[in-house]
């Protein structure tokens, strides 16, 4: 799109340069021809108003010339000239530069439409980028949530393991207590303790054993 805009700008510049050259040539058409210039540098002017000279000669030569007729003719000629000028003013002249102006206007319109299209495309691209960033943020949040969930699960598992360990310790303590109680019960039934050789070591009464177990 940028390359196309550059090409359009170059075309417009070329057309404007051509238009400028045409205007310069039109201005030079009013110059004096070399054939109309005398040797001393003055312009050779051709008078086409021969009728006025003839009328003046008639005025000087004829003493019986009617002044009123001359004046009326003069003013009639002025009216005719005025009418001719008015008629010429109403003529529509064709300008060659109108085509170039139309071409430039069309090219400018095309460039404006291209600019609008580029702006719309850029805005859509920016919106798409924003949407993609939002999606990435959502994905990151999801990943963070998953990581948090994994951490929570790990913490829960550790807590459960600790609870199980505590329960196992409690069970072991309870088993130890039960073993002690069973030992105390067995000792209540036996009147004395024996060593490996079945020799009497100590004779203990049942009351002393109950007191020792209760302590």
Predicted confidence (pLDDT) per residue in 87-105, tens digit = 444 444 445 566 677 777 7
Q: Which of 204, 183, 185, 182 is nearest to 193 (CA)?
A: 204
Mean pLDDT in residue range 185-207: 53
Quickly state the pLDDT bin for 41 (edges 50, 70, 90): low
Is the overall model pTM greater than 0.85, yes or no? no
Mean pLDDT in residue range 159-184: 89
Quickly state the pLDDT bin for 152 (edges 50, 70, 90): very high
Mean pLDDT in residue range 18-27: 57
Highest mean pLDDT among 53-62, 97-106, 167-176, 189-198: 167-176
pLDDT for res 47: 47
52 pLDDT more than 80: no
Query: Cβ distance 96 to 22 under 8 Å?
Result: yes
Residue 38, strand partner residues: none
125 pLDDT more than 80: yes
Mean pLDDT in residue range 25-35: 50
Least confident of 4-8, 53-57, 106-110, 188-192: 53-57
Residue 20: count of CB within 10 angstroms of its CB: 9
Quickly state the pLDDT bin for 201 (edges 50, 70, 90): very low
pLDDT for res 103: 76
pLDDT for res 166: 93
CA within 13 Å, CB half, 110: 15
Percent of the chain with pLDDT over 90: 23
* Rounded Cα–Cα distance for residues 69 and 55 (Å): 11
- Positive/negative CA dihedral, 185, 190, 194, 200: positive
């Amino acid at each position: 799109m940028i390359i196309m805009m550059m090409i359009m700008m170059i075309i417009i510049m070329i057309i404007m340069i051509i238009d400028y050259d045409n205007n310069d040539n039109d201005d030079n058409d009013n110059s004096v021809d070399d054939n109309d210039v005398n040797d001393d540098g003055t312009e050779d002017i051709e008078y086409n108003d021969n009728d006025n000279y003839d009328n003046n000669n008639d005025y000087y030569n004829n003493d019986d010339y009617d002044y009123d007729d001359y004046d009326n003719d003069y003013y009639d000629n002025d009216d005719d000239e005025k009418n001719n000028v008015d008629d010429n003013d109403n003529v529509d002249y064709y300008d060659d530069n109108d085509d170039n102006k139309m071409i430039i206007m069309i090219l400018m319109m095309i460039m404006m439409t291209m600019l609008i299209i580029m702006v719309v495309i850029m805005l859509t691209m920016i919106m798409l980028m924003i949407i993609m960033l939002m999606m990435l943020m959502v994905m990151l949040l999801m990943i963070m949530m998953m990581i948090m969930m994994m951490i929570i699960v790990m913490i829960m598992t550790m807590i459960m393991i600790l609870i199980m360990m505590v329960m196992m310790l409690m069970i072991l303590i309870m088993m130890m207590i039960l073993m002690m109680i069973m030992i105390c019960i067995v000792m209540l039934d036996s009147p004395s303790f024996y060593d490996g050789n079945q020799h009497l070591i100590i004779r203990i009464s049942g009351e002393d054993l109950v007191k020792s177990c209760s302590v």
